[in-house]
Chains A and B, each alone.
Chain A
Amino acid sequence: MKPNLKILYKTPDLDEMAKKHQDFDGLMDSLATTKAGKRNRLQRFGSFVLVIAVTAFLSWLYWGYEPAGAELPVETRELSASAKSEEQSLAADTVVEKTEKPVTEVKPEPVSPANQQADQPLPDTKTEQASNTSQKSETDSNDLALPEVKESKYEFVSAEPAQGLENLYEYLYGRIHLPDSLLDQQSSLFFEVSFTVSAVGSVNNVGFSKDFPVKIDSALTQVFEQMPTWQAARENEQPVSSEVKLPITFQKKN
């Protein structure tokens, strides 16, 4: 599909324009707003689900739930049974059949394990002591375990040129000149230069690979030692010295 095209020739100063609109804090604000919007939608959905669930639970309680007699203590059950008989006697003049029905007998139920535990006699002092010591040892082990949970986090950020890698290469290619004869046979040559970036960002211990094509002298070493500043590597946010291996490629012009 052919676009509706308008060709322009003179580009305005885009860098200046971009600087005017560059606003990282604004971006963070819009990110927070977008995330909050998403969260709100989730919250609204969550609260809707909660309301439905609570309504369903309450209606189940109201319409469908009947407390089981077995769960009530015996005295309460007896009381409720007598209340029921009273209720039935009150309604005797209206419903005759009801009075004929016998009041259900409350039989003592077999003791449940929970009740059994409650009915058990108190443990003697020896067993109490033993349980105390076991509890104590448990709490001791808890006391010992808690402070050990701390995780040690290791983070390493490697050294990097303060003004960016592209600027660094621009600086280096502007100062290192390779004899044209070396590039006659190959279109490009690749070498490595190693050096140490100290904790304060200074460069030293410059080393060249054995096959480095340019004559290695103090001037060449100076090119590297005086290169744009580096940001030192950081180990757990503390600046440390580190060795850097920088790849350099010479390419044939055209």
Chain B
Amino acid sequence: MNLSEKEYRYLGAREEKEVERAKRDSKDFRPLYERYYGKIFGFLYKRVADEDLAADLASQTFLNALLNLKKYEFRGLSFSAWLYRIAFNLSTDYFRQSKKERVFYMEPERSSELLTEVIEESEEAEVLLMRELKLPSAFEALSAKELSLVELRYFEELPYTEIAYVMNMSEGNARTKMHRILKKMKMLIESNETQSENTL
């Protein structure tokens, strides 16, 4: 569920109080932990596709958050943005060290939402279906950073402000990059189509 900007700020201000309480006593971290464990676990699982590894990384994320909670400063963003940033960095480090396969979960309902951004709305249903089938090849052509941007925006449904914070870039930069990625994906899908037409 997407909250409006005001509701988002309202939620953020409430969380700020919870964080302040948790800074005084780590036992007060429980509400934040219970609220965001599922999200962070899901985010990590979709990157590693290994239940135990995702649980380990999620625990490490929350432990790092607790150990560094005194350094946390409220910047008008949801607390989850900070957790996503820790989890994102932990998983990136994991892939860098282990050189294991990066997993990308293409949930059907989310990928169709992405497809509507990539192609024109006036396309026929058959064309839409054809293009949806070509999405995986477009994903494979993206870089790790581009893939993470798509993942955070369309599959984790984070706002651009949070994406920018998680990936350590400016909001404007995140928007521009996303625009270019969608354009790139569109080109990849279309070129794939012309190639297949020529072979036929």
Contacts and interface: CB of A to CB of B under 8 A. Distances in A.
Interface of A: 1-9, 11, 14-15, 17-19, 21-22, 24, 26-28, 30-31, 34, 157-158, 160, 164-166, 169-170, 188, 190, 247, 249, 251
Interface stretch (B6-14, B82-90, B159-167, B177-185): B6-14
Nearest to B62: A27
A160 B15 CA distance: 11
B143 A2 contact: yes
B1 interface: yes
A34 B6 contact: no
Nearest to A26: B59
B70 interface: no
A18 B34 contact: no
25 contacts: A2-B144, A3-B144, A3-B147, A4-B99, A4-B101, A5-B103, A5-B140, A6-B49, A6-B101, A6-B104, A8-B49, A8-B103, A9-B105, A9-B107, A11-B105, A14-B42, A22-B37, A24-B33, A27-B59, A34-B67, A166-B11, A169-B3, A170-B1, A190-B6, A251-B4
Nearest to B137: A7
A166 B104 contact: no
Nearest to B6: A247
B59 A30 contact: yes
B107 A31 contact: no
B11 A165 contact: yes
Contacts, number: 124
Report the 4 A-B pairs with minimum CB-CB distance, sorted nearest first. Answer: A249-B4, A21-B55, A3-B102, A18-B41
A5 B51 contact: no
B19 interface: no
Given A9-B105, A11-B105, A17-B51, A247 B3 contact: no
Contacts of B66: 27, 31
Contacts of A18: 37-38, 41-42, 58
A164 B17 CA distance: 15
B104 A8 contact: yes
Pick the most buried of B7, B46, B140: most chain A CB atoms within 10 A of its CB. B7
Contacts of A169: 1, 3, 7
Given A5-B147, A34-B67, A166-B3, 12 more contacts: A3-B143, A4-B100, A5-B103, A18-B41, A18-B58, A19-B38, A22-B37, A24-B29, A30-B63, A169-B1, A190-B4, A249-B6
